[in-house]
Amino acid sequence: MGVLDGLEPVSERYASAPVAEAFAWRDAAEALGDGEWYMVAFRSIRRVGADEARLTLYDHLAHEEAAAAPGFVDYYKGPFAPDRSCLSFCIWQSRADARAAAGMPAHVRAVSLVEEMYESYTLEFHKVTRTAGGPLQFAGYDAAGSPEHVHVSGLGLHPVEPPAAPLVQAPSPSTG
C-alpha cells in the first residue's frame, strides 16, 4: 500500500491548480510522517486521439521500474480531466534519486512518447516538507541552475526554458 493511496483531487480542475491546493493532502501527510522529499510533477494536455493503451502500458512499466529504484517513495497517476489535462507526480527521497531513475530504460521509453501523445506538458520540481506532525509544505526546488518549472508546448515540443542538464544523453554524431 502506497502513501498516496486514497489521494483525490479537490475538483475536476485540479490539474491547473497549484500542487498544494490540487489535493486533500491530510492522509498522505500522515502516511509520509515528518521529513523532506523531492517531487517531480508532470502536468499535461493530451493530444486528441492519443493511444491511451500504449500510454498506459509505458506508464505502468516506468512506474514498476521506478518503484524498485533507490529512494522511490510513491507515484500518483492523476485522472484524465474532461479538458484532456492531467497532473501526475512522483515523490522521491532526494533529487539525486529522481535524476538517477529518470535515466532508467522504461522511463526513457516512456519519455519517447511525449511528442506523440501530448499537446503540451510542464515539469515542476518541488521540495515537500513536513515537521512536527503539521501539514505538508510545498516549495519550488531551488537548486542552483535548476529551473523550478520547464514548460513545453507546440508541435515540436521544445522547452521554453532548457533544463540544467539533459535527462537523456543525445548520441554523438558518427564520423565514419
Alpha helix (H) ranges present in 71-170? 95-102, 105-111, 114-117
What type of residue sits at position 76?
Answer: Y
Residue 164 lies inside a defined structural domain of this protein: no
Residue 6 lies inside a defined structural domain of this protein: no
Residue 23: DSSP 8-state: B
How many domains are there within the chain?
1
25 vs 164: CA distance, rounded Å: 30
Kindly report the backbone phi and psi dihedral angles of residue 28, in degrees, each rounded to the nearest multiple of 5, phi listed first. -65, -40
Given a cut of 60, whether residue 55 has pLDDT beyond it is yes
Strands (E), the chain: 35-46, 72-76, 85-92, 118-130, 137-140, 149-153, 158-159
Look at residue 1 in the predicted model and tell me its pLDDT.
57
Return the C-alpha cell found at 82. 474532461
pLDDT in tens, 38-51: 999 999 999 999 99
What is the domain range of residue 55?
Answer: 22-159
Length of the chain: 176
Q: Is 40 helix (H, G, I), strand (E, B) or coil?
A: strand
54 vs 20: CA distance, rounded Å: 30
- The predicted model scores a pTM of 0.80
Residue 3 lies inside a defined structural domain of this protein: no
Q: What is the mean pLDDT of residues 5-19?
A: 91
pLDDT in tens, 135-158: 999 998 865 444 455 544 444 433
Residues 6 or more apart whose CB falls under 8 angstroms from that of 10 comprise 17, 21, 22, 23, 24
Residue 101 lies inside a defined structural domain of this protein: yes
Residue 170 lies inside a defined structural domain of this protein: no
Determine what percent of the chain falls in helix, strand and coil, rounding each to the nearest 5: 30, 30, 45
Of residues 163 and 147, more confidence is placed in: 147
41 vs 91: CA distance, rounded Å: 9
pLDDT in tens, 83-138: 999 999 999 999 999 999 999 999 999 999 999 999 999 999 999 999 999 999 99
Residue 65 lies inside a defined structural domain of this protein: yes
Say what the alpha-carbon torsion angle 146, 72, 3, 25 is, to the nearest 10 degrees.
0
The CATH number for 134's domain is 3.30.70.100
Residue 17 lies inside a defined structural domain of this protein: no
